[in-house]
Amino acid sequence: MAIEVKNITFSYPGSLATAVENVSMTIEKGERVAIIGQNGAGKSTTVKLMNNIYKPSKGTILVDGIDTKERTTAQIAPHVGYVFQNPNDQIFNDDVVKEIEYVLRYRKLPEEEIRKRREEAIDVTGIRPYVEMHPFDIPLPIRKFLTIAVVVAVSPDYVILDEPTAGQDLWGCAQLKTVMDYLQQKGKAVLTISHDMEYVAENFDRVIVMAHKNVIADGEKRDILYRMDTLREAHVKPPLSAQIAQAVGIRDKILNLKELSAAIL
């Protein structure tokens, strides 16, 4: 079981320039993968194609063997869930409960199942204090957790989080950790797009680097985050702890502050 992206090329409607060119990658079920790279490298486009919001101009995407070209977005959505970078692009109901239940009702799940999934999603994402509010009155960083709750309730096998740590404070980052642990426990694949290298190093096993509309590296995080030429080409800096470790001549591939302090002591 996997999402298999095979040699896809895509241009946005009305645009002559391609947004991705000949991109290939495979995301296995249960994997935790981060895509990193500069704005405009093709990261968001690639995951939107996986989610079948757009269809590739060339190449194919198979979700558990099913060609996305032969399915509608609504047919792929139960398998691949996408949490938008900007929650305002995703929310369309005037009520938190309605927003979470929307897809579940569309899929005509039993009432008891809807209730169970809704409550679990609200708890995991920590939005219980906000359920009575209008979604657009909820502070933006917390609104992001509402959109995560929607995807958690749908419970797809592949969850895509686009820039989940942007604008989050310590509460938000801790809550996100809770969500990540929950998804892993459920055996979900989590794919993220992130500029936050501390978050990537902490929560993901595999890192894919994109630059100039294509994949330039793909592998185990400790290997990838120490390929300085590749990172430079992608205009990405490694985690601060790695930068410090290199600057002071520590040879181990340090990825977080705990490892750094252990190496210094």
Partner 1 sequence: MGVCIEFQDVSYAYPLTKKAAVRHLNCRLETGKCYGVIGPNAGGKTTFCNLMRGLCPNFYGGILKGTVLIHGKNLLEWEDEELSVQIGYVFQDPFAQVSGIKETVFEEIGMGLENLGVEAEEMIARIVEIAKMVHVDTLLQKNPLALSGGQCQRVAFASILALDSDIIVIDEPTSQLDPEAGSDVFEIIDMLKKQGKTVIIAEHKVDLLAEYCDEIIAIAGGSIVAKGPVKEVLSDPVLPENGVRIPQAVSLARELWQAGKPFREIPVTMQEAIGLIKERREGRADGN
Match 């030429």 to its residue by tokens. Answer: 229
**Among the listed residues 198, 202, 218, 233, the single contact to partner 1 using CB under 8 A:** 198
Quote the least distance from Cβ 240 to partner 1, whole Å.
5
CB of 152 or CB of 200, closer to partner 1? 200
Tokens of 10: 């895509």
Q: By CB under 8 A, is residue 141 in contact with partner 1?
A: yes
**Among the listed residues 18, 38, 57, 73, the single contact to partner 1 using CB under 8 A:** 38
Give the integer Cα–Cα distance in Å for 5 and 1: 13
How many residues sit close enough to partner 1 to count as binding (CB under 8 A)?
35
**Among the listed residues 142, 180, 210, 215, the single contact to partner 1 using CB under 8 A:** 142
**Among the listed residues 147, 168, 175, 203, the single contact to partner 1 using CB under 8 A:** 168
Q: By CB under 8 A, is residue 265 in contact with partner 1?
A: yes
- Pairing status of strand 158-162 against strand 80-83: parallel
Whether 101 contacts 153, CB under 8 Å? yes
Choose the binding region for partner 1 from 26-34, 66-74, 212-220, 240-248 (rule: CB under 8 A): 240-248
Whether 227 contacts 36, CB under 8 Å? no
Whether 23 contacts 56, CB under 8 Å? no
DSSP-derived letter for residue 47 is H
Q: By CB under 8 A, is residue 257 in contact with partner 1?
A: yes
Choose the binding region for partner 1 from 27-35, 64-72, 176-184, 235-243 (rule: CB under 8 A): 235-243
Q: By CB under 8 A, is residue 16 in contact with partner 1?
A: no
Choose the binding region for partner 1 from 62-70, 114-122, 137-145, 215-223 (rule: CB under 8 A): 137-145
DSSP-derived letter for residue 132 is T
Virtual CA dihedral for 81, 85, 86, 91, nearest 10 degrees?
0
- Nearest CA to 79 out of 2, 181, 25, 183 is that of 2
CB of 68 or CB of 90, closer to partner 1? 90
**Among the listed residues 29, 69, 128, 235, the single contact to partner 1 using CB under 8 A:** 235
Match 């205009």 to its residue by tokens. Answer: 235
- Nearest CA to 5 out of 49, 37, 69 is that of 49
Q: By CB under 8 A, is residue 39 in contact with partner 1?
A: yes
First to last CA, the chain: 44
CB of 104 or CB of 209, closer to partner 1? 209
Give the integer Cα–Cα distance in Å for 91 and 112: 24
Interface with partner 1 by CB under 8 A: which residues?
A: 38-40, 85-86, 88, 139-142, 166-172, 195, 198, 235-237, 240-241, 243-244, 247-249, 257-258, 260-261, 264-265
